[in-house]
Chain A
Amino acid sequence: MATLRLNGIRKRYPNGITALHDIDLDVVDGELIVVVGPSGCGKSTLLRTLAGLEAISDGELTINGRRVNELEPAERDIAMVFQNYALYPHMSVAGNMGYALKNRGMPKDEIRRRVAATAELLGLSELLERRPRQLSGGQRQRVAMGRAIVREPQVFLFDEPLSNLDAKLRVQMRLEIRRLQKRLGVTSVYVTHDQVEAMTLADRLVVMNAGRVEQCGTPMALYEQPATLFVASFLGSPAMNFLPVTVHRDGVVLPNGTQLALALPVAMPEGRVTNLGVRPEHLVEAASRPDTAAVLDVTVEMLEPLGADMLAYTRLSGLEEWLVVRLDGAHAAHEGQRLSLTFSLADCHVFDADGRRVSMTEGAAAKAQACQ
Chain B
Amino acid sequence: MEMVIVAPPAPGKLEDLRRRFFATPLQALLSLISLAIMAFVLWKLLNWAVFSAVFTTSGGPEACQAAAGACWSVIAARWRIILFGLYPFEEQWRSALACVAVVVMTVLSCIPAFWTGRRIALVWGAGTALYYVLMKGGVLGLPYVGEEAWGGLALTLFIFVTTCLIGFPLAICLALLRRSELPWISRTTGLIIDGVRSLPLISILFTFAVVLPFALPQWMAGDKLYRVILGSALFFSAYQAEIVRGGMQGVPKGQEEAAMALGMSYWQRIGRILLPQAMRNALPATINQFVISFKETSLVVIVGFFEILASGNAAYGTGEWRFAYVEVYAFIALIYFVFVFSLSRYGAYLERRMSVGER
A and B held together in a complex: no
